[in-house]
Amino acid sequence: MINVNDFKTGMTIKYEGNLFMVIEFQHVKPGKGAAFVRTKLKNLRTGATIEITFNSATKVELARIEKKPMQFLYANGDDYVFMNMNDYSQVELNAKVLGDDTKFLKENLDVDIAFYEGEMLGLYLPDKIEMEVVKTEPGVKGNTQSSAMKDATLEELKQAGLDTHYAEHKKALYPTDANGVPFTVAYFATTGDPIADLSEDMAAEQKARATYENLIDLTNDPDVIAPLLFLRQREIVHFTRFKELYNEYMNMYKKNS
């Protein structure tokens, strides 16, 4: 048990059968009456945020949360799939549980998944995440805040002198590398035709899968086989996602033809 006077931001507690994370807390000692602690808590099961005021003498149960390192693979509708990097098992978290954290998830992002007595609760994002801004809307005249460049088009980026950060190949847009050199077909080919491009993507994933399988057949070392199995499974996942998108475009093509 822990006294509410010892609350700290990020601490997890069990209260009235629910698991909460302490988001904010404030010690209040009025001129008259008993002191109390005003808190803002996040329900780790539902994601809802509530405010609760505790008498300063109140004690609550401290919840021991276990964090397991995992890697984000892909989204399947409202479910987000993560892989345990130790045993390569996969788990799913629903968008309702993740909340706004879904905005920052990108393929192969390393995160920590929170567990309480075997129950999966949510995730902890890295302190820093690199995100790429590819489009924003024109800002409102007179707006000098950070949203002034919101939703700028490629033409507006060129006018702002930022065109060297991008390379355009028909309908496909790719960023430059750290040296300012744009991606070209020397790295990978793109036609701007989604059916043609996805077909090539699927072929590349199958070739990679076959390569890993051939390497697995050449060794009996479990320390070598384990990461190769992970890489093989990753190519299968990638191929499946490309195939789903390919089928979507084929259905659109058939309807319009």
21 exposure class (CB count in 10 Å sphere: 0-12, 13-18, 19+): buried
Average pLDDT, the chain: 80
Instruction: Tell me the backbone φ, ψ of residue 139, rounded to 5 degrees.
Output: -75, 160
CA–CA gap between residue 8 and residue 155 (Å, rounded): 49
Q: What is the mean pLDDT of residues 26-37?
A: 86
Question: How buried is 238 (Cβ within 10 angstroms: 0-12 exposed, 13-18 middle, 19+ buried)?
Answer: buried
CB-CB contact of 202 with 235 (8 Å): no
What is the arrangement of strands in the sheet containing 119-124, beginning at the earlier edge strand? 90-94, 79-84, 66-76, 110-116, 119-124
- 45: which 2 tokens? 């099961």
Share of the chain above pLDDT 70, in %: 76
Q: How much of the chain is helix, strand and coil, in % rounded to 5?
A: 35, 30, 35
The pLDDT confidence band at residue 9, using thresholds 50, 70 and 90, is confident
88-121 burial, b at 16+ Cβ within 10 Å, e below that, comes to eeeeebeeebbeebbeebeeebebbbbbbeeeeb
User: Which position has the higher pLDDT, 192 or 80?
Assistant: 80
pLDDT band at 122; cut points 50, 70, 90: confident
One-letter identity of residue 203: A
Q: What confidence score (pLDDT) does residue 147 get?
A: 43
Per residue in 123-167, pLDDT tens? 888 877 766 655 555 444 444 444 444 455 666 666 766 655 554
Comparison of pLDDT for 17 and 130, the residue scoring more: 17
Residue-wise pLDDT for 99-109, tens only, equals 778 888 888 89
The CA distance from 108 to 215, in Å, is: 23
Q: Provide the 10 A C-beta neighbour count for residue 145.
A: 8
Sorted by sequence, the CB contacts under 8 Å of residue 42 that are 6+ apart come out as: 20, 21, 23, 48, 49
Q: Name the band, by pLDDT with cuts 50, 70 and 90, for residue 49.
A: confident
Task: Place 13 in a pLDDT band, splitting at 50, 70 and 90.
Answer: very high
Residue 157 has a pLDDT of: 61
User: How does pLDDT run across 159-211, given as a tens digit for each residue?
Assistant: 766 655 554 444 444 455 555 565 555 555 666 788 888 898 899 999 999 99
Q: Are 121 and 65 in contact (CB under 8 A)?
A: yes
Predicted pLDDT of residue 173? 47
